[in-house]
């Protein structure tokens, strides 16, 4: 096969928010919950707790822990996920700034 026979695959660059790329109406909210949920998951994973222990720390039922640990973050509101971070003894800071074209309306970052 020669170079002229090879074609470059077509692709479209994503926006950084898979939910927006899928055209979902509440993409910003879903993306925020996914980011918060992932951070909660990472913190819990690092603690090596059993699901029963996680349920007690977070104040939720064990089936909800299962959903959380399996990445079903859309089952929880952003407020609930923020509450989980509080229960895990993490400080949450909300920063407001004018929106610039091309950037997300919501962003979640972990400070070091």
- The confidence score (pLDDT) of residue 105 equals 76
Q: DSSP state, 102?
A: T
Q: Are 79 and 37 in contact (CB under 8 A)?
A: no
Q: Are 51 and 66 in contact (CB under 8 A)?
A: yes
| Domains contained in the chain, CATH given | 21-112 (1.10.260.40)
- The confidence score (pLDDT) of residue 3 equals 55
pLDDT(5) > 70: no
Q: What is the pLDDT of residues 69-90, one digit of tens each?
A: 999 999 999 999 999 999 999 9
Residue 75 in tokens = 């089952």
Q: Which of 3-17, 36-50, 59-73, 83-97 has the lowest mean pLDDT?
A: 3-17
pLDDT(23) > 60: yes
């Amino acid at each position: 096969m020669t170079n002229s026979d090879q074609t470059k695959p077509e692709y479209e660059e994503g926006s950084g928010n898979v939910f927006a790329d899928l055209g979902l109406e509440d993409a910003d909210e879903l993306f925020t919950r996914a980011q918060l949920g992932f951070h909660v998951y990472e913190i819990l994973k690092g603690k090596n707790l059993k699901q029963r222990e996680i349920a007690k720390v977070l104040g939720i039922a064990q089936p909800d822990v299962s959903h959380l640990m399996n990445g079903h973050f859309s089952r929880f509101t952003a407020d609930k996920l923020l509450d989980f971070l509080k229960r895990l003894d993490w400080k949450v800071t909300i920063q407001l700034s004018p929106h610039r074209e091309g950037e997300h309306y919501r962003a979640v970052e972990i400070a070091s």
